[in-house]
A and B are shown apart, each in its own frame.
Chain A
Amino acid sequence: MTRPDTTRPEATDREAIRYVSPLLAVTGPLPEPGRVEAARRRVRNAWRALRPLTTPLGIALKYTSLLIAVACAVIPLITVFMAAFKTREEFATSDPLAPPGDWLNLENFVVAFTRGGMLQGFANTTIILAVSLVGTILIGTMTAYAVDRFDFRGRRLVLGAFLLATLVPAVTTQVATFQVVNGLGLFNTRWAAIILFMGTDIVSIYIFLQFMRSIPRSLDEAAMLDGANRLTIYARIVFPLLRPAIATVVIIKGIAIYNEYYIPFLYMPSRDLGVVSTSLFRFMGPFGAQWEIISAGAVLVIVPTLIAFLLLQRQIYSGLTSGATK
């Protein structure tokens, strides 16, 4: 951005209106010329007062603050990363800020994978992730299709029921959801997590609903004239066209499921059913003070997220802004 030009000669009144109005249009209608002058004077004074902040000093402060932010983000992660490669004795004697002696010491990772149950955790997470994602996509697209493309009694009620449910924070209802899951005989099975991830995801439905509206209805109608039934239209026309929305849902839902702790913690306490989060949480017991192994476990969990982020940055940013509120 170019530095503001302070030497611009005084403009005439007419010009003033032209210059100022786009700014003022944000806050209100075009004011009269006299008020424009007053507003300009105010702006000019304010800016003279704040001028030091756009000088080299201000720029230095800006980059310093960014540097501090990066340090705050990175240091906690880097030190854990380094600790994961240290041997037991090395960890006990070395400074937390010192790098490991041997970057190829993978001993801690082996222990985390085997004795720590991370292998099991990744397997369970993968199963739950795959099944719940397929389920979420089918449920979300079917709901969006039914609500957007049909006219039927109770349509408003159905839509209202889904939207109202977004207001109920899942964290509050678990006390009673537990009884439902238990009553269905799903407690301590992978199905508990799968069905909860599928059944309580209203944000996905909302994303599909929003996207569905941009698919021209004439496509449905043309297919219908060709004799296609509703199921064919859904499966052959609408579903493939929803692909971008499906990608968004897969990404934000995938990250959410991978990171979920509360649901597996409540519903799948069995050791064999540990997912990534709960397996890692269990490190705190047996490995109590063995920070080098706990660090290795944390690194194992963080690395897939880092890879996904580096590959899918753009989609993650836009996906999160569309589904962040739940």
Chain B
Amino acid sequence: MAVVTDAFSARAEKATGARRIGAFLSRGQASGPGRGPSRGLPITPWLFLVVPLGLLVLFTYVPVANMVWYSFTSWDGLDPVKEPVGLDNYVRIFTDPEMFKVFFVSLYYLAGAAVQMVLALYFATILSFNTRFRNFLKGMIFFPYLINGVAIGLVFLFLLRPGGTLDALLAVVGVAEPPQWIGDPSLVNVSLAATSVWRFMGLNFVLFLGAIQSIPNELYEAADIDGATSWQKFWFIIAPGIRQIIGLTTILAISGSLSVFEIPWIMTSGANGSTTFVIQTVQQAFQFGKFGLASAMAVVLLVVVLVITWIQRRIFPDEKVDLT
């Protein structure tokens, strides 16, 4: 869990909160036995690192650098000449309403993420107390997260299609004319966001449950002696204990709701106004050959994610978020 936060400490070493990564980094400074020039050649570590670093540079840093470069051109993906166009691509993303409206689609997923976190927190809390069939229930709630995204897309297309399972269930309770869950442009994003909640709630739930269970038992025992109720235990013990993980999950939910791709792509291919930011990026690049514009969109998304992560580091500066 600490990956995101620690990466930031690596950059902001001076900040007080750089403890964990600081520990990693400063280890090498200690001149313990086994270190120093007498043991092995100075080139030895690089022999171990040449392949990993090569791949890292080739598939992470080169693409990021190229992406920034392409974003200032009108490149079509094939032309050997990449015509510079300045900021045109960026201006278009934020002014063309056709381009801009995908951001509103993210709001559905953001709302979905909020619902998802509340549900996950609720179920994690009640399952952290004594409950019958606890392991079975935990598995049931968690399992959807492991399922292949394409399979989930098809399962929900089956569920939501006209005359499908959901309509049949509604007919049982007397709803004769259910809406078109996927076909209605005003409902499609709600249906897709709900599918996302179904898919990802289990992960949040397990992360919350892990955090709750890592709270020392003595605290609950002390609360029991005091005669605290489940609610009081939630507010006075659990809530402070999982503040960190909630913070991290919120950040992930925000950047996640901007990078939604699989569920809408599989279920609607972006039809009916369900195009998300990433679907649009992929379509611009690989269907319309507008690599310049698509790169600019990817840069925007990258910057947003970096800014959000930076904000998270400011709000939750130095406590470690490590559940292992």
Question: Please, what's the 1-or-0 string for B56-72, where 1 marks a CB less than 8 Å from any CB in chain A?
Answer: 10111111101100100
Give the Cβ gap from B66 to chain A, nearest Cβ, in Å.
4
In the complex, the answer to whether A79 meets B158 with C-beta atoms within 8 Å is yes
- With A20-B226, A150-B44, A196-B59 already in contact, the answer to whether A163 and B146 are too (CB < 8 A) is no
**Distance in angstroms between the alpha carbons of A27 and B172 in the assembled complex:** 50
**Mostly helix, strand, loop or mixed at chain A's interface?**
helix
Expressed in whole angstroms, the Cα–Cα distance for A5 and B299 within the complex equals 59
Q: Which residue of B27, B31, B262, B302 is within 8 Å of A262 (Cβ)? A: B262
Q: Indicate if the CB atoms of A54 and B137 lie closer than 8 Å.
A: no
- Tell me whether A104 is interfacial, beta carbon within 8 Å: no
Segment 52-72 of A: residues with Cβ below 8 Å from B: 53-54, 62-63, 65-66, 69-70, 72
Residue of A nearest to B156 (CB): A76
Q: At the interface, yes or no: A113 with Cβ under 8 Å from chain B?
A: no
Asked if B7 and A167 make an inter-chain contact with CB atoms under 8 angstroms apart, the answer reads yes
Contacts of A119 in B (CB 8 A): none
CB distance from B320 to the nearest CB of A (A): 12
A53 to B255, CA, bound (A): 36
A277 CB-CB contact with B under 8 Å: yes
Given contacts A69-B137, A152-B28, 5 further A-B contacts (CB under 8 A): A43-B228, A50-B232, A65-B126, A151-B36, A221-B33
> Which residues of B sit under 8 angstroms from A266, Cβ to Cβ?
282, 286
Interface set, chain B 2-54, CB cutoff 8 A to A: 3-4, 6-8, 10-11, 21, 24-25, 27-29, 31-36, 39-40, 42, 44-46, 48-49, 51-53
Please tell me if the beta carbons of A53 and B165 are within 8 angstroms of each other in the complex. no
Q: 15 A–B contact pairs at CB < 8 A?
A: A1-B230, A69-B140, A70-B141, A139-B55, A143-B49, A161-B56, A171-B278, A206-B3, A217-B32, A261-B262, A261-B266, A291-B161, A318-B324, A321-B323, A325-B3
Give Cα A26 to B239, complex, Å: 10
Check B131–A66 contact: CB distance below 8 A: yes
Collect the chain A residues with CB atoms within 8 Å of residue B3's CB. 163, 166, 202-203, 206, 323, 325-326
Q: Cβ of A178: which chain B residues have Cβ within 8 Å of it?
A: 285-286
Q: Do residues B203 and A176 form an inter-chain contact, with CB atoms below 8 A?
A: no
Cross-chain contact A324 with B203 (CB below 8 angstroms): yes
Chain A residues whose CB sits within 8 angstroms of the CB of B219 once the complex forms = 22-23, 26
Complex-state Cα separation, A159 to B22, whole angstroms: 11
Of B11, B144, B168, B278, the contact of A164 (CB 8 Å cutoff): B11
Q: Interface readout for A145-180 with B: 1 if CB under 8 Å, 0 if not?
A: 111111111011011111111111101111111111
Contacts of A163 in B (CB 8 A): 3, 6-7, 10, 21
Q: Nearest Cβ distance between residue B115 and chain A, in whole angstroms?
A: 12
Bound CA span A146–B48, Å: 6
Does any Cβ of A come within 8 Å of B103's Cβ?
A: no
Residues of chain A with a CB closer than 8 A to B142's CB: 317
Within 8 A of B (CB), among A188-220: 195-196, 198-200, 202-203, 205-206, 209-210, 213, 217, 220
Say yes or no: B6 contacts A142, CB within 8 Å: no
* A-binding segment of B91-99, B106-114, B290-298: B290-298
How many positions in chain A have a CB within 8 Å of any CB in the partner chain? 128
Contact status B149-A309, CB under 8 Å: no
CA distance A324 to B1 in the complex (A): 6
Docked complex Cα distance between A162 and B147 (Å): 29
Instruction: Give A157 to B29 CA distance when docked, in angstroms.
Output: 14
Say whether B49 contacts A195, CB under 8 Å. Answer: no
Point out the residue from A19, A291, A325 that lies within 8 Å of B225, measured CB to CB.
Answer: A19
In the bound assembly, the distance between CA atoms of A316 and B219 in angstroms comes to 28
**Contact: A172 with B55, CB < 8 Å?**
no
A295 within 8 A of partner (CB):
yes
Kindly state whether residue A4 has any CB partner on chain B within 8 Å.
Answer: yes
B236, A230: Cβ atoms under 8 Å? no
* Cβ-closest chain A residue relative to B231: A50
What is the CA–CA distance of A54 and B233 in the complex, to the nearest angstrom?
Answer: 12
Contacts of A252-310 to chain B: CB distance below 8 A: 255, 258-259, 261-262, 266, 276-278, 280-281, 283-284, 291, 294-295, 297-298, 301-302, 305-306, 308-309
Given contacts A53-B229, A261-B262, A261-B266, contact A168 B60 (CB under 8 A): yes
* A199 in contact with B56 (CB, 8 Å): yes
Contacts of B225 in A (CB 8 A): 19
Distance in angstroms between the alpha carbons of A162 and B3 in the assembled complex? 10
Interface string of B283-324 (1 = CB under 8 A from A): 001100001001100110110011001000000000000011
The answer to whether B155 has its CB under 8 Å from any CB of chain A is yes
Residue of B nearest to A27 (CB): B240
